[in-house]
Amino acid sequence: MLEPSKPDTSDELQTDNGDSQSTRTPESLWRNAWWLAPMLAIPLLIGGYFVVLRSGTDQSTAELNVAIGKTLAKKGEWNRAMDRFEKALRIDPRHVEAHFHLGYAWERLGRADKALTHYNEALSSDPDNAEGHAYLGSLLSGQGELDQAAEHFERAAQIEPANALAHFNLGSLREQQGKPEQAIAEYQEAVRIQPDFLDGHKNLGSLLATQERIPEAVAHFEQALRIDPNDATAREKLAQTRALLKQP
């Protein structure tokens, strides 16, 4: 049986005078240099390792700067805290937490414009961040932009339905908008979620009193005093509201 002829893989060419001449094509060079492939891959793999390592180190450094900044902010050292948040953002320009805290620092220093920029930057990276919507809602509420603030407080409550503060903020805003029934509903939800929410009980008691729902108001002021027996505002409001019960 005849075997099929195989292609000539020789790298030599016969000349007219019978001498052989080397014909090294790129393909033949690569076939003969197969053993170089693993050696060439080693630097690439090592380089990739260092890229990954450096990236991880940078992210850790950004997180460390944010952590230090938060500690400084709690001490009221706003300028030093802001320097840390800015360092984190130079490493990771889309670091959500750094933007939020830097925005809050600017807000505390009276620069609402810069605060707004950082809050929006953070939410563009993480649109479902409830805390971010709460920050932005508070800022807008302080500027009198109640409708825009309401959108952000509503979004925060939708993202985290069990967040008492989100409902409290929305209740406070509804009260500012002159919507007492909606405000009462949000305050009630806040204290249902967090029964020891002192400000929730105080705000709810005050609003119920204005709506002439006196027994309910008394109950919330009493609860506020059980939470903090030394709260002067709750004690005063309770006395005033109890007096209304005695009126004919």
Residue 41: its pLDDT value, please? Answer: 43
- Structural contact between residues 71 and 102, judged by C-beta atoms closer than 8 angstroms: no
Look at residue 245 in the predicted model and tell me its pLDDT.
Answer: 80
What's residue 36's pLDDT? 42
Rounded CA-CA distance 148/33 in Å is 67
Structure confidence at residue 44 (pLDDT): 40
Write down the pLDDT at residue 32.
52
DSSP string, 48-100: HHHHHHHHHHHHHHHHHHHHHHHHHHHTT-HHHHHHHHHHHHHH-TT-HHHHH
Q: How far apart are the first and last CA of the chain?
A: 123
pLDDT at 20: 45
For domain 195-248, the CATH architecture is Alpha Horseshoe (1.25)
Among 127, 73, 144, which residue's Cα sits nearest to residue 103? Answer: 73
C-alpha 189/C-alpha 218 separation (Å) is 18
Q: What confidence score (pLDDT) does residue 248 get?
A: 55
What's residue 106's pLDDT?
A: 94
The residues spanned by each domain of the chain are 195-248
Q: How far apart are CA 215 and CA 194, in angstroms?
A: 21
At 150 the pLDDT is 93
pLDDT given at position 56 = 54
User: What is the Cα–Cα distance from 118 to 36, expressed in whole angstroms?
Assistant: 51
What tokens does 248 get?
């004919």
Distances (CA, A) of 186 to 6, 173, 247: 85, 10, 29
Task: Give the model's pLDDT for residue 131.
Answer: 87
Q: What is the DSSP letter of 22?
A: E
Q: What is the DSSP string of 121-166?
A: HHHHH-TT-HHHHHHHHHHHHHTT-HHHHHHHHHHHHHH-TT-HHH
Q: What pLDDT score does 246 carry?
A: 74
Q: Which amino acid is at 217?
A: A
Per-residue CA distances from 217 to 10, 242, 243, 245 (Å): 100, 9, 12, 11
Mean pLDDT, 10 residues at a time, the chain of 248 residues: 38 44 45 46 42 55 91 92 93 92 92 94 93 91 92 94 93 95 97 97 97 96 97 96 80
